[in-house]
Structure 1
Amino acid sequence: MVEKTALLGVVSVALGMVLSPGPNMMYLVSRSIGQGRRAGIISLGGVAAGFLVYLLGANLGLALLFAAVPQMLTAIRIAGALYLFWLAWKTVKPGGISVFAVQDVPHDSPRRLFGMGLMTNLLNPKIAILYVSIIPQFIDLEKGDVLLQGIILGGFQILVAVSVNLSIVLAAGTVAGFLERRPSWLRIQRITMGSLLGVLAVMLAFGGSGSPAQL
């Protein structure tokens, strides 16, 4: 149903995006450093719930849209490439602030932590564009059920995002101290992630008008 190249493409994009600074990472790191790992894990549960909302909502609508207007895939491919280029520049541009900077945050209840994680993800433009403009371009209309393909690809994105974010939550305190003493390492991380996003953007932009799974 879903080509391995499409899965690898989604995993690559998901990895590049989850490792680039954004609202989700900033929130999870601030909670983990300021309130402890347990708070970070509860917050991550809210973020994961937000992914599921996007997964179901986007795919139910997109399945009908692409079946009626297949040409939309080309427009989505271009929009996704432009967004990745913008994200790459934002990651490597001078003057960026480390998401691992230690900040004071108020201690909140588990319910509030989960709710804030959920809302942070639902209001995250990175995730909205990911599900509307990037993941759909890996769907191949000739491979059958569009809805099922979207759910499978989105499921892999969620697996990557939750796994990486959990690692970040567990290691946030250690990483914050390490980078605070070695600012040059932070610059290397930003350049590496920005370069990866740039390469993915080029692949997406010049992948042709055929199946996204061929990228």
Structure 2
Amino acid sequence: MQDVSLYLPGILLAYSAFMVAIASPGPNVLAVMGTSMSVGRSSGISLAMGVAIGSFTWALLTIFGLSALLATYASALLAIKIFGGLYLLWLAYKSFKSAASRHDIEARELAGGRRSPAGYFRRGYLIQMTNPKAALSWIAIISLGLKEDAPLWVGAAIVLGTFALSVIIHLLYALAFSTPVMVRLYGKARRGIQGILGTVFAFAGLRLLTSRS
């Protein structure tokens, strides 16, 4: 029970950073939005599931890669945390810049014509796996929850928890943005949302940079 209380704050912070990262529209989220708006709900759902599985793949690659690195070089955790903190501060800057901009989101239908559900699933997976932001975000997210000499269940909790969140949130995007009302509402609230996201990114980045363990 003592172990749970020791690692739970970091795990919850990793979950929070992950949810904030999804709330900040990148190529994956914009693709789900655009497909749901232009093609339809079922196609958006298929694409969303491909993105979620891609996110799960990145989580596994990151946690195993960082665990192997830390097993060999224990001091590498400090460098990882510095990198992750700086990247989160960069995301904060991008969010604040987006909040200050009057330009709306650019969610468009994917190029290459209409696809089968399996085709949209594959495209979603490919979009997520070739997204540089996804790789960098996962290093920052996992370094938030990973402490030195953390047991295996901590990494498993981060990976499985974020996978469940990824499925739920991307499906909600697909469902919500298949309705014109939600598109209009998001457009009106976009700048405020980006400002909140920037604040959360800045907090997480500073916390990571000032963390001692």
Shorter-chain TM-score tier: 0.7 to 0.9
Give the Cα separation in 1 of the matches to 2:184 and 2:140.
36
In the alignment, which residue of structure 1 is the partner of 2:185? Answer: 178
C-alpha contact 2:18 2:141 (8 A) present in aligned 1: no
C-alpha contact 2:88 2:205 (8 A) present in aligned 1: yes
- Aligned Cα RMSD in Å? 2.0
Task: Tell me which amino acid in the other structure corresponds to 2:22.
Answer: V
- Structure 1 residues 203, 96: closer, same or farther in 2, change over 3 A? farther
Alignment pair present for 1:55 and 2:62: no
Give the Cα separation in 2 of the matches to 1:59 and 1:200.
19
Kindly provide the CA deviation profile for residues 11-57 of structure 1, in whole angstroms up to 9, marking residues without a partner as x. Answer: 11111111012111111101111111111110011112212322332
> Structure 1: which 5+ residue stretches go unaligned?
211-215
Alignment partner of 2:36 out of 32, 38, 41:
32
Alignment partner of 2:164 out of 147, 159, 162:
159
- Structure 1 residues 136, 201: closer, same or farther in 2, change over 3 A? closer
Task: Tell me which amino acid in the other structure corresponds to 2:118.
Answer: R
Kindly provide the CA deviation profile for residues 179-212 of structure 1, in whole angstroms up to 9, marking residues without a partner as x. Answer: 45xx3x22111111111111111111112x22xx
1:59-208 correspondence runs (5 A) = 59-93=63-97, 94-95=100-101, 97-99=103-105, 101=106, 103-105=108-110, 106-145=113-152, 148-172=153-177, 173=179, 174-180=181-187, 183=188, 185-207=189-211
More moved, 186-195 vs 76-85? 186-195
User: Aligned residues: percent identity?
Assistant: 26
More moved, 109-118 vs 123-132? 123-132
C-alpha contact 2:32 2:47 (8 A) present in aligned 1: yes
Q: What is the Cα deviation at residue 4 of structure 1? A: 1.4
C-alpha contact 1:77 1:134 (8 A) present in aligned 2: no
Give me the TM-score of the superposition, normalised by structure 1. Answer: 0.85
Give the Cα separation in 2 of the matches to 1:39 and 1:29.
11
Paired residue total: 203
Give the Cα separation in 2 of the matches to 1:64 and 1:74.
15
Give me the TM-score of the superposition, normalised by structure 2. Answer: 0.85
- Structure 1 residues 191, 133: closer, same or farther in 2, change over 3 A? closer
Give the Cα separation in 2 of the matches to 1:178 and 1:58.
35
- Structure 1 residues 116, 193: closer, same or farther in 2, change over 3 A? same
Q: Which portions of structure 1, spanning 4 or more consecutive aligned residues, are displaced by more than 6 angstroms?
A: none
